[in-house]
Amino acid sequence: MTAKKKTNNKKQGVTRGDVLWMRSGGALLLVAVIVVAAYWIHQKMQDPSLMPVKSVVLDGSFEHVERSELESIISRAMSGGFFLLDVSQIQSALKELQWVSAVTVRRVWPDVLVIKIEEHVPFARWGGNRLISEQGELFSPHAMEQFSSLPQIDAEAQFAADVMQQSRQFRKLLPGDDAVARLRRNARSGWTLWLTSGVRIELGNSKVMERLARARLLLDHFSGQTAILDVIDARYSGGVAVRTRQQGSKANEKTNEKTNELKIESIESQV
């Protein structure tokens, strides 16, 4: 009987607390193994020789951006293997180039990096040393000489979006053979246009498109003879004032609201 009792005592030596400690210790050991493994994998992936990027594909038509400059920036920004390569760093570095409008960088398994680059499309000259793109972004090219044929815009930078929107409307309304050569938006939001024919049009800061439509009627009336016109002032209610290139010559003109026929009320010099 005594021996039996001793055997039972030995079997009851492993308590529930011991089991919990053993399980906790096993869990901690497993966590430690996972942490060490993750650290080892991270260190290995930092090694460029492990799954390196073997080729870079440049997508885009490069008219102004130098390909050699792109390659130099990309090679400096390449660090780490395929997975840990910092694509945002490459994207930011390329976006700093003056002619770059947008950049997309993506990985293609297993070892290719595809970089798509969009260039600014110049719309007009802005001030003396900048351009504005078709997307309404201002940027400064290295040289301005080659863009001398673009229209000139004079306005404050904060109004770039408004100027682009208005410019597109002007372009639709004016004839193609007498487009806008220069545009100015003054501090009072007043608009002035200079056409390729040399005619200056004053539009003011209200009902701008309505006033330009009246000026367009006058241009159509003098089709083929716009060289004699100097200034069209459309800042009048329902009419325009005209100054010819002959010194001191002025004319007041009105449009008939019902028929849209142009009536010349008085001309101070022969036209």
Percent of the chain past pLDDT 90, that is, above it, reads 49
- Asked whether residue 192 is assigned to any structural domain, the reply reads yes
Residue 255 has pLDDT above 50, yes or no: no
The predicted-structure confidence for 190-230, as pLDDT tens digits, reads as follows 999 999 999 999 999 999 999 999 999 999 888 888 889 99
Q: For residue 79, give the CATH number of its domain.
A: 3.10.20.310
- Asked whether residue 191 is assigned to any structural domain, the reply reads yes
CA distance 206 to 96: 38
CA distance 117 to 94: 9
- Asked whether residue 182 is assigned to any structural domain, the reply reads yes
**In this structure, are 115 and 135 located in the same domain?**
no
**In this structure, are 84 and 203 located in the same domain?**
no
224: helix, strand or coil: coil
Q: For residue 216, give the CATH number of its domain.
A: 3.40.50.11690
* DSSP-derived secondary structure letter, 183: E
Q: Of 119, 148, 164, which marks where a domain is finished?
A: 119
Confidence of residue 130 (pLDDT cuts 50, 70, 90): very high
What pLDDT, on a 0 to 100 scale, did the predictor assign at position 51?
75
> Which residue from 110, 64, 67, 116 is spatially nearest to 90, judged by alpha carbons?
116
What pLDDT, on a 0 to 100 scale, did the predictor assign at position 17?
60
Average pLDDT of the chain to the nearest whole number: 80
Mean pLDDT over 28-38 rounds to 68
Reported pTM: 0.71
CA distance 129 to 22: 75
Q: Of 119, 137, 172, which marks where a domain is finished?
A: 119
- Asked whether residue 9 is assigned to any structural domain, the reply reads no
Q: Of 87, 119, 151, which marks where a domain is finished?
A: 119
Residue 101 has pLDDT above 90, yes or no: yes
Mean pLDDT over 107-115 rounds to 91
Percent of the chain past pLDDT 70, that is, above it, reads 72
What pLDDT, on a 0 to 100 scale, did the predictor assign at position 270?
26
Containing domain of residue 145, as a range? 122-267
Highest mean pLDDT among 30-44, 66-80, 113-127, 225-239: 113-127
Overall domain count for the chain: 2
The predicted-structure confidence for 258-269, as pLDDT tens digits, reads as follows 333 344 333 333
- Asked whether residue 22 is assigned to any structural domain, the reply reads no
**In this structure, are 151 and 237 located in the same domain?**
yes
